[in-house]
Amino acid sequence: MITILHWLLDHSVAFVGLAFLALVASVYWPGRKERFQRDAMIPFQDDK
């Protein structure tokens, strides 16, 4: 068990990097531009 924890600690930077790349890929995936632009405008809309 301890060797698994040491391995995870040694490779945690790679895991965080992969998670970041997955997040960026999901945001810039074709077809999602309209959704993110609509969601980005929510703070600027008047309360109704």
Give the tens place of pLDDT for each residue, 1-40.
889 888 888 889 999 999 999 999 988 888 888 888 899 8
Residue 19: what pLDDT? 97
Among residues 32, 3, 2, 48, the alpha carbon closest in space to that of 40 is found at 32
Residue 23: what pLDDT? 94
The two tokens of residue 5 are 């924890």
Residue 1: what pLDDT? 82
Place of tokens 């609509």: 38
Residue 47: what pLDDT? 72
Residue 4: what pLDDT? 87
